[in-house]
Amino acid sequence: MARAATGTETGPRIIPRPEHNVSRAQISKNALKVLYRLRDAGYQAFLVGGGVRDLLLGREPKDFDIATDAHPEDVRRLFRNCRLIGRRFRLAHVYFGRDIVEVATFRSSEDELAPDESLLVKDDEGRILRDNRYGEIGEDVWRRDFTANSLYYNIADFSIWDYTGGVEDIRAGVMRLIGEPEDRYREDPVRLLRAVRFAAKLGFRIESSSESPVRELGFLLESVPPARLFDEVLKLFLGGYAVASYELLRHYGHFGQLFPAVDALLDSEAGEPYRALLLEALQNTDRRVADDEPVTPVFLFSVLLWGPVCRRAAQLQERGESPVQALLLAADEVGDEQQRHVAIPRRITTPMKEMMVLQLRLQKTRGRRVLGMLGHPRFRAAYDLLCLRAQVGDADPALAEFWTRLQTLDEDARVAEVDPGGRRKSTDKAAAEGEAAPDAERPPRSRRRRRPRRRKPTGSTD
């Protein structure tokens, strides 16, 4: 039997193939290629982490990670399609087209003295900055975060190795940190978000001793690079469990660490209708993921920042800025402040601002230029945002109905809808009455060709 997550080390509980439901048929062919080649080369090779957890739960894993006693350089020698990455943790990525199989070398226990102290670097708060000390599987397991993620599937005999009681915790629906919770959160503050993400994704509860420091240690997220938090936000909100993640983040106070301006607005009297808009957008995102429809970070961040941008734009309009200019300036100001917490790449912020400006332009429903909106590359996303805003009272429902109806009409009907007194209508009326239409085609005038004038010779007189 495995030890408790904070006890002293013993051997693993080895669960033979007949006693678990994980099958090679459920593992990707590329992951199996890597596992078999490592095994055939004389190395230990295990499927590890969330892939084993999800297979035990009857879920389809998003990716398959591998742990081995082969060092990164050994993995690169075995696979020509391999690239070594990472400074904090040295990893090998084996490429199969767009599919990437991640291979990590067993890490040594923190209690073991490293021959080279430079291989383990921590900051003053205990956060691990670099750790490339290699060890054995019995040490590696204690460097993982949660018991549910610390299971190893052995390709040699298809057994599962469980050192921490992870199988029992999965059956009980519990997320439990391995080791002393506060120390583990300080080593890597992103574990605070991972605890929330796994609890939301799996429907698990966070075990009491692992949960108690979660709220009070939220300030540690300030030391995490904003670019890394961007990746975590995408995992939290675009994985199909956005609503549950949002509610847990708000419960533990971490949403304010990620989006302080949004959090402050949601807690204010002016928070409606933005609270309803955000919740409706997250519910819509979860539905789209469940239906295997695409979701984009552009739409997500547009909704998240819409409230603070609108409030700031209103202030700028009071100072004399035009509505469009005020919205653009507000989006820049709010976006610049947000970058200090979650770094949003320009490939997202640029179309995000376009979506926001289109909310103003979609208010116009008359004139030929209105039809040009239908061909705008951001129209569909802007239209979806408009419809969500109309549902929660942040926009005129009649406006959303207009754009919904306009998309169903043919070209002539669209022209009549947006330009009822326009040129085409008057042209058709004139033609019906037998009169010449103002813009009707007329035969070109025949022009007589003039003969060139004879030029007088230089110096000649009359």
Residue 148 one-letter amino acid: A
b/e map 256-288, b = 16+ CB within 10 Å: bbbbebbbebbeeeebebbebbbbbbbebbbeb
The identity of residue 38, as a single letter, is L
Is 63 annotated as catalytic? yes
58: how many CB neighbours lie within 10 A of its CB? 8
Is the CB of residue 161 less than 8 Å from the CB of residue 52?
Answer: no
Strands 99-105 and 65-68: parallel
Beta carbons of 31 and 68 less than 8 angstroms apart: no
Rg (C-alpha) for the chain, rounded Å, is 32
Distance CA(131)–CA(134), nearest Å, equals 9
Residue 72 CA to residue 78 CA, distance in Å, equals: 10
Is 65 annotated as catalytic? Answer: yes
Residue 165 CA to residue 59 CA, distance in Å, equals: 20
Catalytic residue selected from 54, 65, 69, 131 = 65
Q: Which of 140, 145, 162, 394 is catalytic?
A: 145
- Strands across the sheet containing 99-105: 13-15, 160-162, 151-154, 45-48, 65-68, 99-105, 91-96, 82-85
Q: Which run of H or E residues covers position 95?
A: strand 91-96
Q: Is 145 annotated in the active site?
A: yes
Handedness of CA 425, 428, 431, 437 (dihedral sign): positive
Query: How far is the C-alpha of 432 from the C-alpha of 156, rounded, in Å?
Result: 85
Whether residue 378 contacts residue 355, with contact meaning beta carbons closer than 8 Å, is answered with: yes
Polymer length in residues for the chain:
462
451: which residues sit within 8 A by CB, 6+ positions away?
Answer: none
Tell me the catalytic residues.
Answer: 63, 65, 145
